[in-house]
Chains A and B, each alone.
Chain A
């Protein structure tokens, strides 16, 4: 990865038909900057999941997405941030989910537990955030202020090689 400091920002009215368009644009953006197909796939997946959530739960029809890619040629930091206004019920559910995630030590085991729980749920999958943690290997933080929800996913590491567990989902504690 070359040294870079790039970002893009999108603000638009929610429309699920546009999510795939945005994902493909974001994927091209990451591909050009990261020159790493596996990392590009991880960040693209995160972008799609966060954007769908922002659209699904926006109460006023407005969503916002920003992504930042920074690298000095040796290390990189990537952030994907979404923001939307949501109702109290969703904000409370999100708060509880993030409190639960703060305590986890093994994202893969947490993801597997979410998968088991999801089979008992008939509506939302509840897997999106776990997927970002385990499959995309990104950290997640959430800021709730009044009715505004801001979710930030972050990945950082060495440019080459990527010092991660390469996305292997372990079955420990299953």
Chain B
């Protein structure tokens, strides 16, 4: 199986994209704050474009090493979900968030994302 990976470090946020034939995994680690929101937004737009072009059924976002995320970066995920919602029926894909129960903020923030797009978001620990 061919796997293509691409990693970027922006201040205290590390983003790693792993592309497999039938899936994409975006791993976020560290702290996502105001200084990193632009790069995160660009990364999420890139993931969305790839998912649409490859007609993927699902994308995985790994938050297991994500210590904190501020509201600017949270908004980038809201915008991403909104873009997926805007796709035609049959073109939408699901987003699975792998969470870390030790980071308590994640359960609340991911619950909010689930409510925003309950048909698209799946949260696993």
- CB pair B35–A135 under 8 Å, yes or no, is no
- CB pair B68–A135 under 8 Å, yes or no, is no
Q: A16-B33, A20-B12, A118-B79 are in contact. Are A45 and B112 (CB under 8 A)?
A: no
Chain A interface mostly: helix
B109 at the interface (CB under 8 A from A): yes
Could you count the A-B residue pairs with CB atoms below 8 Å apart for me: how many are there? 87
Across-interface contacts of B109 in A (CB, < 8 A): 131, 135
Within 58-100 of B, Cβ neighbours of A (below 8 Å) are at 68, 70-72, 74-75, 78-79, 82
Other-chain residue from A52, A111, A115, A169 in contact with B34 (beta carbon distance below 8 A): A52
- CB pair A169–B33 under 8 Å, yes or no, is no
Other-chain residue from B35, B105, B116 in contact with A44 (beta carbon distance below 8 A): B105
**Which of A40, A116, A119 has the most chain B CB within a 10 Å cutoff?**
A119
A19 at the interface (CB under 8 A from B): yes
Other-chain residue from B11, B72, B105, B107 in contact with A125 (beta carbon distance below 8 A): B72
Within 114-135 of A, Cβ neighbours of B (below 8 Å) are at 115-116, 118-119, 124-128, 131, 134-135
Which 6 A-B pairs give the minimum distances between C-beta atoms? A41-B104, A125-B75, A128-B71, A127-B71, A135-B108, A119-B82
Give chain B's interface residues, CB within 8 Å of chain A.
11-12, 31, 33-35, 37, 68, 70-72, 74-75, 78-79, 82, 103-105, 107-109, 111-112, 114-116, 118
